[in-house]
Structure 1
Amino acid sequence: MSRLILRLLPSSALFACLMLAGVGQAFAAPRSATARIERVTTAVATLHDVRVDLAWPSGMPQGELRLQARLVDAPDLGYRFRDLDWRCPLLRDASGAWQCAGELRSGGERMRLSVELGVATTEASLVHGASRIELHRNATTPDATHIDLTRVPLAWTQALLSKAWEASRITGGTFDAALTITAATDEPIRVAGPLRIAAASFDTPDGTIAGANLGARLDVDARLGERDRFTIDGQLLGGEVLFGTTYVSLQERPVELHLSGLQDGQGWTLPRIGWNDRGILAVEGSAAIGPQAELRALDLQLHASDLAPMSAAYLSGWLGLAGLGDLAIGGAADATVRISDGELDDGLLRLHQVRLDDPRGRFAFNGIDGDLAFSGAAPVSSELRWQGGDLYGLAFGPSRLPFRSAAGVLQLADAVELSLLGGAARFDHLQIRPPGGDESMDVRFGLTLERLDVAQLSEALDWPAFTGELSGTIPEARYADDRVQFDGGLAMQLFGGEVEVTQLSMERPFGVLPTLSADVTFDDIDLAALTGAFDFGSISGKLDGRIADLRLVNWQPVAFDARLDTDRHSGVRQRISQRAVQDLTSVGNASIVGSLQSQLIGFFDDFGYSRIGIACRLSDEVCTMDGLGSAGEGFIIVEGSGLPRLTVVGYNRRVDWPTLVERLAAVGKGDVKPVVE
């Protein structure tokens, strides 16, 4: 029996088919006999300890046949069966046909196997619950065998699939087929016919590849010989597939599928790949796959006539990884992709009036047109353009991005400047190297901000009413392995002073629980501008400070070591308003000390001070506080100057961080009172 038939059958049917050829000889004449065979070797399996028992009492119209095998080993198929046993009543009808139908046991499984050997035909059927396998042969067409399969569990093919894909696990589904197997002399075995798959499910132990509720209606034509080949034409009938970060959801849509393959000694060549999800995505191309299912080569042309449904059907995995799972996309796109030896050789993305709209209001782009070309060898140029959009509610106008690509790198051909917030944001350079081999994607860029209006920025981000201008430079930033490292840091002019951010890095910037780490230093910050922006009373003077080892998780601070101190400058007044004193005592759990000064505080609008200093080390949601120096059991926050001489002292050195945040919120609402001791 052909090896393809055997590939389609479970363990018990395999055993029965292997024995069919010998059964005819045993049926030659009624008799009682026993035959023991140590080993039977076939092209696909070896049977060990085979026993055939035929009991046919003299004068009886029928006898009993029993076939047993201790072990059936089919290493090429991945099957190994033990203790197979089939017994049935054997009879011969008037036409000379032999018939035998009875229970077949394989381990704990019980099935019913029926065999009829006619003068010119052979019929066999195997029934297991709702599953049925039927075999039909006719002497007039000796090279052809017909097999009908009804509701056969896909799990019966697990051993065979594991030979080609070791990590695969079939978890559900059935298939029906009506196949014709042609095995002509000196010709490859041919298998052809319709195949229908229902509710197929599979996965891998690590969960990176999975499929659920997949259906298909296909026509299969395979030729098996020295170089196996196949063609598949038909439709996928819904379901969903996960491949790494790529998630495909077909819902209940029929997708036209065309696939041809040829075994080439190094794996498989797929000279034709056709995929048509009408109105959403059409794909044509070819591929080559290595012996370990690795991608050797790929050449695809893609056309998406409407990106709106495509984002949910094909892009949700990638968009979710970037934190853009609910991104609204419109327009159309075309693309070509060529990969060899697992690396991108060249590609082209062509966009047609594409629009991007983040429902959370972070950004929007309108009217994106143009090409984005990538080359692994000779230089190519391309350009993207957009008509306008907004960033956090801040509108920006038309712009163009000129690109060039060569030797596997895509980069900006020139610096790109955008008008933003009354100033400009300029990408000084941008370089993208796609993943290849053992290397992950590598993105590098430099950014310059020039004279951005902080008031507009504050309004757009719903910050306090900051004023001034924001300028700064990120000379070099690199994104790789889900981490962004900023070399050189960020320097900006803010509140009349300078803010410098160094040791800046981000982990999982587009994933779950993004993390930011940095050191921040302040130099000569104008306290009047700063406290005015935060509605924190009024303090005049200059402020220096440092926030070391800052760590934000999901944009919330979880650790830092901060210290802020005033910096005396000639000609700069140092005054603190009564409102600012109230806010400090409320937030810092501090007190105003000095009997005369405490009694007179209500008569003064502001006070002179010599120094202000406060420190906080945050760890495990507890802020360890300190100030200018010790004052008994407390620490000095404000050291007064002149009359009345005002001193503010903190007493609680361990403050619950969530409580401190609540106090800061109360200060913003003006709901504070001074604490007088």
Structure 2
Amino acid sequence: MCNKQVIFSFLILMFCLLTLPASTAFSGFALLLDGIRHPVFQAQSIQVRLGDGHPGVGQLEIVIAEIKVRDYVWKDVQLSCAVFQYKSTEIKCEDGYVKIPELVSFPVSLHFYSDTQTIKIKSNLTKNESWTLTLQWKGQSWQGDVTIRNVSLDSIAEWLPDLEQMPKPRSGRVNGTVLFSGSETDLKSAVMDLSIEALSFSDQAGLRAGENIQIAIKAGLDRSKHSNQLYWHSEIFWQQGEVFWQPIYMAAANHHLSMRGVFDGEAMHLLDGSLMFAELGTFQFSGVFDISSKRLRVFELKANKIQLSTLYEQVLQPFLRDTTFAEIEFTGHADWTVRLRDDAVQSIQLDLDDVSIVDARNRFAFYRINARIPWLHEGATIVDLRVQNGHVLKVPLGTVRVPLELNQFNVFLPQLALPVLDGLLKLENFSAGYTEKGWRWKFNGGLSPVSMEALTDALQVQRMHGTLSGYIPEVRYDGTNVSVNGVLQLKVFDGSVVIHNLKLIEPMGLAPHLKADAAMRNLDLELLTGTFSFGKMEGRVDIDVRNLELANWMPVHFDAHLFSSSGNYSRRISQAAIENISALGGEGAVAAIQRSILRFFEEFRYAEIGWRCKLRLNICYMGGIESEPLSRYTLVKGGGVPAITVMGYNRVVGWQELITRLLRITSENEPIIQ
């Protein structure tokens, strides 16, 4: 039972007691009742005292040890009247006071008219704050009204029940009227028109708070003449103010909620409801709530033309603050329908209309998404999803259509061909499922040749030449990490690259982490060095990179070894290449070449090249072709005519310093030329 019904029942009891002396003429008396039972309430140990006074005037005090109205119990309830007047047809209580210990106390004036069977109760809480209840009955029928004028919400906050998730108001005022009528203990109709102004509330932790809220409430109900059903309707207009309900913040913009339904004593039937959020869209809903089991028998929610940008900013973004999707821009609209039965979701229909998703960090973007996504709790469905274009890690993607199969919480995609630059990324046997630990997925596929020039331009890194292609074995995602179950094979610089033990930790997080081992074989040195303007080098090299670790795509640990490939091929090196090799660990080559006859040669022959680097804590521990114990090491071993050998001396170099040298193509240190 709501608080208004409880208070109303209590006031009926008070006036039942007040009517006792209405037909009795005496100057004072005391009355003790063991109890009163009524369909609405029960009262025990009632004391009524009427003090002496002028004829027809006295002081009245009523003390009730306990009042019980259904599940509500009050003890030591007191009503006192400083001026109590009684006549044959009228009883008045002026300068009265009602007190319920540890709950409420307020001044009151009471008027009872037996000829018209009318009760009028008025409480002037302050000079500008009052409420008035008028009740009139005829036979078994009754009607009444409540008028509220500037009643402070904090003054009635103690009357409100303690709800775990609902903070009580600390300021605000209520104005309005409530009209009602009924028969015996049954309410037949009621009409409410209230306005709440300057409402503020907060909990102790500050996680739920509201300021300067203005709300208009209109509601009504009617009992059916032919059944025990109550037909009800309500409208709420949020006109002003702001609310923070961790983690969502929302400000008023003429938001509107309307509902209409039926209560049959066993279930609450919501025939139709509509929630309109300005600049967001309209949500329509209906359903049936079972009172005894406290379960939703049926519920349906429909959303039409929802602005995804507003939905993300006001609702979704606060929940995604520490995730990959914390900084995303949405455009476009979405429609959806959700159906529940017995508290379980039975079906979802989501339609996306010209939607674009852009990451503010430029990690990914998908443009002009149009989709029809049906889902059933039992049974399989087919998703029709199309993406006009986009990019992932700056790599552009072409138009693609994704025919997904959904079966409860499992997703399957037999095959997908995704245009990537001038090549094609093929995904096969993609499957995903949702578990208690989150989403899991896996797939395999391949990449048809992609121009390295186009790829490196897209990634905004040093331009490389040739093509990139490869086979992708089974790739798995365990909710946090991406791992490759097998060997990833690529073709680049006219050679091959085999990647083992590839693992990507939080790939779309703020600090992605990669681990892998790589073996590169028979790379074309001319393509490789030409890419980085390193100077011309002819030949073939192998590269082993073990225990590679990247943090946020920057190397933090590896063991690298570059060495000449086996076989017969042209092995030549230019003076420009020698100058740049000197940056790895020697003392500059240019002056030495100019002091010798070798300066007349543009190119030299070599027998073997090699370079080693162990990266630890941002320090590169370097070596050359062989593991030489002395401080110097061989980077280029001469062979043929003319020949040149380049030696290095600096074995310990800061990684960032080494990168800076290579980028600037410095020649501060000279290698020893033999």
Q: TM-score, normalised by structure 2?
A: 0.73
In the alignment, which residue of structure 1 is the partner of 2:108?
114
In the alignment, which residue of structure 2 is the partner of 1:233?
235
Deviation of the 1:135 alpha carbon: 2.5
1:497 partner amino acid? S
1:646 partner amino acid? V
Question: What are the superposed Cα offsets for residues 395-421 of structure 1, whole Å, 9 maximum, x if unpaired?
Answer: 665443334444554444x52323331
Deviation of the 1:368 alpha carbon: 4.3
Inter-partner Cα distance in structure 2 for 1:666 and 1:488: 37
Deviation of the 1:616 alpha carbon: 1.1
Mapped pair 1:376 → 2:377: yes
Mapped pair 1:135 → 2:133: yes
Inter-partner Cα distance in structure 2 for 1:109 and 1:662: 75
In the alignment, which residue of structure 1 is the partner of 2:421?
421
In the alignment, which residue of structure 2 is the partner of 1:569?
566
In the alignment, which residue of structure 2 is the partner of 1:304?
305
In the alignment, which residue of structure 1 is the partner of 2:647?
647
Please show how residues 256-335 of structure 1 align to structure 2 within 5 Å.
Answer: 256-260=257-261, 262=263, 270-277=270-277, 280-287=280-287, 297-304=298-305, 312=313, 316=317, 323=325, 325-330=327-332, 332-335=333-336
In the alignment, which residue of structure 1 is the partner of 2:656?
661
Deviation of the 1:98 alpha carbon: 1.7
In the alignment, which residue of structure 2 is the partner of 1:550?
549
Please show how residues 64-79 of structure 1 align to structure 2 within 5 Å.
Answer: 76=71
Deviation of the 1:179 alpha carbon: 2.5
In the alignment, which residue of structure 2 is the partner of 1:461?
459
Question: What are the superposed Cα offsets for residues 11-35 of structure 1, whole Å, 9 maximum, x if unpaired?
Answer: xx99888755545558977867778
2:301 partner amino acid? L
Inter-partner Cα distance in structure 1 for 2:531 and 2:125: 81
Structure 1 residues without counterparts, runs of 5 or longer: none
Question: What are the superposed Cα offsets for residues 335-393 of structure 1, whole Å, 9 maximum, x if unpaired?
Answer: 32223455543333334444556666666655544523223334444523455566677
Question: What are the superposed Cα offsets for residues 24-60 of structure 1, whole Å, 9 maximum, x if unpaired?
Answer: 5589778677789999999899999x89685845449
- In the alignment, is the contact (CA less than 8 A) between 1:279 and 1:304 conserved in 2? no
In the alignment, which residue of structure 1 is the partner of 2:219?
220
In the alignment, which residue of structure 1 is the partner of 2:153?
153
Aligned residues: 646
Structure 2 residues without counterparts, runs of 5 or longer: none
Select which of 426, 449, 453 maps to 2:447: 449
Structure 1 pair 626/367, CA: closer, same or farther in 2 (3 Å)? Answer: closer
In the alignment, which residue of structure 2 is the partner of 1:180?
179
Deviation of the 1:473 alpha carbon: 4.6
Question: What are the superposed Cα offsets for residues 234-267 of structure 1, whole Å, 9 maximum, x if unpaired?
Answer: 434466778898x5856413334325475886x8
- In the alignment, is the contact (CA less than 8 A) between 1:101 and 1:112 conserved in 2? no
1:92 partner amino acid? Q
1:673 partner amino acid? E
Inter-partner Cα distance in structure 1 for 2:438 and 2:209: 23
Question: What are the superposed Cα offsets for residues 545-581 of structure 1, whole Å, 9 maximum, x if unpaired?
Answer: 33536353xx354854443443542335777777667
- In the alignment, is the contact (CA less than 8 A) between 2:481 and 2:503 conserved in 1? no
Superposition CA RMSD, Å: 5.4
Determine helix, strand or coil for the equivalent of 1:664. Answer: helix
Structure 1 pair 446/186, CA: closer, same or farther in 2 (3 Å)? Answer: farther
- In the alignment, is the contact (CA less than 8 A) between 1:62 and 1:89 conserved in 2? no
Inter-partner Cα distance in structure 2 for 1:485 and 1:361: 24
Structure 1 pair 271/531, CA: closer, same or farther in 2 (3 Å)? Answer: farther
1:522 partner amino acid? A
Inter-partner Cα distance in structure 1 for 2:634 and 2:98: 90
- In the alignment, is the contact (CA less than 8 A) between 2:648 and 2:671 conserved in 1? no
Structure 1 pair 644/615, CA: closer, same or farther in 2 (3 Å)? Answer: same
Inter-partner Cα distance in structure 2 for 1:562 and 1:570: 25
Question: What are the superposed Cα offsets for residues 118-176 of structure 1, whole Å, 9 maximum, x if unpaired?
Answer: 2122213262797654432224596334334445438956886655xx34434666463
Inter-partner Cα distance in structure 1 for 2:120 and 2:42: 23
Mapped pair 1:89 → 2:64: no
2:512 partner amino acid? T
Inter-partner Cα distance in structure 2 for 1:443 and 1:536: 42
- In the alignment, is the contact (CA less than 8 A) between 1:196 and 1:215 conserved in 2? yes
Inter-partner Cα distance in structure 1 for 2:96 and 2:32: 21
Deviation of the 1:297 alpha carbon: 4.8
- In the alignment, is the contact (CA less than 8 A) between 2:146 and 2:177 conserved in 1? yes
Structure 1 pair 319/63, CA: closer, same or farther in 2 (3 Å)? Answer: same
2:331 partner amino acid? I
- In the alignment, is the contact (CA less than 8 A) between 1:63 and 1:90 conserved in 2? yes
In the alignment, which residue of structure 2 is the partner of 1:339?
340
Deviation of the 1:615 alpha carbon: 0.7
Inter-partner Cα distance in structure 1 for 2:565 and 2:519: 14
In the alignment, which residue of structure 1 is the partner of 2:95?
101
User: Which deviates more from structure 2 when the two are superposed, residues 335-344 or residues 195-204?
Assistant: 195-204
Structure 1 pair 310/104, CA: closer, same or farther in 2 (3 Å)? Answer: same
Inter-partner Cα distance in structure 1 for 2:630 and 2:204: 60
Structure 1 pair 221/473, CA: closer, same or farther in 2 (3 Å)? Answer: farther
Question: What are the superposed Cα offsets for residues 64-94 of structure 1, whole Å, 9 maximum, x if unpaired?
Answer: 55667899898946xx889877766233288
Percent identical pairs in the alignment equals: 17
Determine helix, strand or coil for the equivalent of 2:146. Answer: strand
Inter-partner Cα distance in structure 1 for 2:186 and 2:456: 78
Determine helix, strand or coil for the equivalent of 2:254. Answer: strand
- In the alignment, is the contact (CA less than 8 A) between 1:374 and 1:408 conserved in 2? no
Structure 1 pair 427/17, CA: closer, same or farther in 2 (3 Å)? Answer: farther
- In the alignment, is the contact (CA less than 8 A) between 2:170 and 2:202 conserved in 1? no
Please show how residues 247-258 of structure 1 align to structure 2 within 5 Å.
Answer: 249=250, 251-258=252-259
Determine helix, strand or coil for the equivalent of 2:186. Answer: coil
- In the alignment, is the contact (CA less than 8 A) between 1:97 and 1:118 conserved in 2? yes
Question: What are the superposed Cα offsets for residues 585-608 of structure 1, whole Å, 9 maximum, x if unpaired?
Answer: 76x7x55499x9899799587785
- In the alignment, is the contact (CA less than 8 A) between 1:583 and 1:673 conserved in 2? no
Larger CA Rg, structure 1 vs 2? 2
Inter-partner Cα distance in structure 2 for 1:431 and 1:105: 68
2:85 partner amino acid? R
Deviation of the 1:456 alpha carbon: 1.2
Inter-partner Cα distance in structure 2 for 1:273 and 1:421: 49
Inter-partner Cα distance in structure 1 for 2:329 and 2:184: 60
